Amino acid sequence: MERFSAEDKGIERQMSTGTKPSERPDKDGENKGQEIFAPHDHGACVSQSFAVAEARCQDTRARLTDVRRKVLTLLLEEHRPLGAYAILERLRGSGHSAQPPVAYRALDFLIDKGLVHRIESLNAYVACTDPERCSDPTFLICQQCDRVAETGFQSVPSTAALAAQEIGFVIERELHEVRGTCPACTAPPASTSASLSQ
């Protein structure tokens, strides 16, 4: 588990997964939600996501400037949520302007185009794993290994939305961030289970 120290603005480095379980078919074409925290082909994930981002910008005639492209590339290559200061450091290291407004403008653009999400509880940003089908994702954050998975399970109103509707409260934005333990961290270590079976 890798974290920034307090000197690094307290921003945690997190590890993200690839595709959403609702759109991730296995070899037989069936979806397997339990694979959400499973390893994946990172190179293919990055190139596919970047191709979708370029196409989306081209379709909407939005300009993917060098800085916007670099910020998206950083998030895709890291494949984990990064805080704004971590992004600034990486921009500086690659020869781009490292002023906060530059990074925030790029992040705002990428969020507006649906290519990046802000994870509020971490005060960090992550590249969207499926911009073509993404709408109101829920983030599953493992408290043990700090991996973060983006899911698309928002087909029914939340309890908060139903309660708000009942009293006439208009929700402007609802956060969908769930903390828990992923399957890999829940499973006992191989050596422990082997010794228990003997």
| pLDDT < 70: residue spans in the chain | 1-39, 79, 153-156, 190-198
User: In whole angstroms, what is the distance from residue 96 CA to residue 45 CA?
Assistant: 25
CATH topology of domain 6-133: Arc Repressor Mutant, subunit A (1.10.10)
Structural domain boundaries in the chain: 6-133
Rounded to the nearest 10 degrees, the angle between the axes of helix 66-78 and helix 100-112 is 80
pLDDT, residue 37, reads 67
Q: Is the pTM of this model over 0.95?
A: no
Q: What is the DSSP string of 38-81?
A: S---HHHHHHHHHHHHHHHHHHTT----HHHHHHHHHHHHHTS-
pLDDT, residue 154, reads 59
